[in-house]
């Protein structure tokens, strides 16, 4: 089944403890992206990757790191999490970066709480 998977789905952690949220897609997609969703603020793009080894900042990259060493995986790294990073995180992928009608497929989400 074609899908985007994220792990973990739920995570409660403490301030300053490094964590990684994994994202993997099995559709051979070039483009992958991370978003956070907060009440009243909607979905905001954190980082995106047009291809392997190519990443770029979205609208809210502060406090996050990403890497794209292989096509299928795009982990999100929080080196020193803070409470303001408590949020619902979504990973997404699409076949190509750009072009009309390019469907973006979203993962199921990771709910992160930083105490």
Partner 1 sequence: TQLLEQSPQFLSIQEGENLTVYCNSSSVFSSLQWYRQEPGEGPVLLVTVVTGGEVKKLKRLTFQFGDARKDSSLHITAAQPGDTGLYLCAGAPWYGGSQGNLIFGKGTKLSVKP
- Interacting residues toward partner 1 by CB under 8 A: 4, 31, 33, 35, 40-45, 48, 50, 56, 58-59, 90, 92, 94, 97-109
Closer residue to partner 1, CB minimum distance, 69 or 101:
101
Closer residue to partner 1, CB minimum distance, 51 or 80:
51
CB of 11 to partner 1, least distance (A): 16
CB of 56 to partner 1, least distance (A): 7
Closer residue to partner 1, CB minimum distance, 83 or 108:
108
8-state DSSP, 104: P
Buried b / exposed e over 64-93, threshold 16 CB at 10 Å, is bebebeebbebbbebeebeeebbbebbbbb
CB of 74 to partner 1, least distance (A): 14
Cα separation, 14 vs 11, whole angstroms: 10
Closer residue to partner 1, CB minimum distance, 8 or 16:
8
Look at the chain and count its residues.
Answer: 115
């Amino acid at each position: 089944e074609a899908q985007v998977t994220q792990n973990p789905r739920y995570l409660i952690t403490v301030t300053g403890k490094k964590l990684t949220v994994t994202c993997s897609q099995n559709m051979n997609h070039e483009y992958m992206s991370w978003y956070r969703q907060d009440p009243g603020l909607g979905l905001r793009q954190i980082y995106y990757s047009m291809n392997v080894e190519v990443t770029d900042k979205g609208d809210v990259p502060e406090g996050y790191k990403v890497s794209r060493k292989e096509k299928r995986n795009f982990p999100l790294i929080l080196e020193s999490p803070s409470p303001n990073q408590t949020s619902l995180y979504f990973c997404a992928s699409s076949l190509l970066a750009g072009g009309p009608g390019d469907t973006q497929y979203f993962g199921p989400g990771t709910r992160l709480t930083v105490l």
